[in-house]
Amino acid sequence: MGRRANARTQAARAVAAVVRGRSLADVMPRLSQAIPAAQRPLMRELAYGALRWHARLRAQVDALVKKPLRGKDADVDALLVIGLYQLQYLRVPEHAVVTETVEAARSLGKSWAAGMVNGVLRSFQRRREELADAGSDAARHGFPDWLWRRLRAAWPADFEAVVAASNERAPMSLRVNLRHGSRDDYLARLTAAGIPARPSPVSPAGVVLDAPADVEALPGFAAGDVSVQDIAAQQAALLLDPQPGERVLDACAAPGGKTAHLLEHADCEVMALDVDEHRLQRVGETLQRLGLTAHTLCADAARPVDWWDGRAFDRILLDAPCSATGVIRRHPDIRLLRRDADIERLAATQARMLDALWPLLAPGGMLLYATCSILPQENRDPVAAFLQRHGDAGLHDAPVSWGRDVAPGWQILPGEMQADGFYYALLRKS
């Protein structure tokens, strides 16, 4: 990466990596280490913003560049996208945007592209009005066409609100560890630390910050007094409601937020399972910080024959693999990484996991099916089909004051109750 790496070069490398199929979570830590800490917030802003609006920016680049850049020049192509993002969405003087983006091309080792980058950005400045409407309706709102169509079909009355909320910056929410102290006490500690926050009306441990803060600035974070967790995700432990002494399976546990919440909720015996060994390490780190204990195991939840000891579970949390369409405001790379064909493939995986885990549940036990998707093909459809296949399965009617009854289950749309998009269905075995 060289000595000249800076926020713009590293953001371009991150965007190019996502275009090639890598996730931001994979590439950002390594790339950000190559630049001073003071530059990392700008790098994050550029990478996340360029991906949030990539479809729109991509259409504008295509209108400005005669010969598309491909292969080894994907980083220059990404730099053009980042340049257009700065000109339209950031309060940076336009002459500085042009100068710094041109210099970033040289820092990438692509001096030949400096003149082209300069020409493209200056051409955009002249043609800004004309290019505002480049691309499809979906692209102008930062969405791939396939997802735009699916969301419109799924939520016709809420479509515009879902799109708008998905393009907002997600709030930072906390879960207070009620074993260490009350939420009111923790809110007072935040106030004393100069971090404005307010309690969530739908989560007894939930706190929403007025503005994001570094976790190291949060009072008692290292001591396990608080965790970062979205308000919608906090509903999982509350809905499953494990009781002291019960045996609980968290079937897709990484990165561990829900595992920890289950253990904070009750003195239960938890097995935390995940198929990804690297991500499972994060579960262990989370539990260690919070002073909690669970049995962690790297295994495929859909193949209990490989890991189950024959002892039934009283409660099972299946936070199933999904399209993550409910959290794209938090993870804008999803817009590029997901494909239309993924939805049917994921739905098949979800059905297979439900069928595999159901025999592990004790009679009278409960299984909570959860996704961070807002597409019915991954939510109410597989649950309805599962209920048809299993005569001993029924919906448990938990009292909830949030979301939408989508029969079966409850759906939270992005932005509702200051939360991400989430789906839950609570099933009881007769």
Catalytic residues: 372
The per-residue DSSP string of 62-78 comes to: HHH-SS---GGGHHHHH
Rounded Cα–Cα distance for residues 229 and 90 (Å): 28
Cα–Cα dist 297/259, whole Å: 13
Q: Which residues contact 367 (CB under 8 A, 6 or more apart)?
A: 315, 316, 317, 318, 354, 357, 358, 361, 426, 427, 429
Is the bond leading into 255 cis (omega within 30 degrees of zero)?
A: yes
User: How far apart are alpha carbons 73 and 6 in whole angstroms?
Assistant: 18
Contact between 421 and 370 (Cβ < 8 Å): no
Cβ within 8 Å of residue 284, ≥6 positions away: 256, 296
Q: Which helix (H) or strand (E) holds 173?
A: strand 173-176
What are the angstrom distances between the C-alpha of 54 and each of 15, 28, 139, 314, 388? 9, 17, 8, 45, 41
Q: What are the start-end ranges of the E strands in 280-421?
A: 295-298, 313-319, 361-371, 393-395, 404-405, 410-412
Measured CA to CA, the distance from residue 223 to residue 289 in angstroms comes to 7
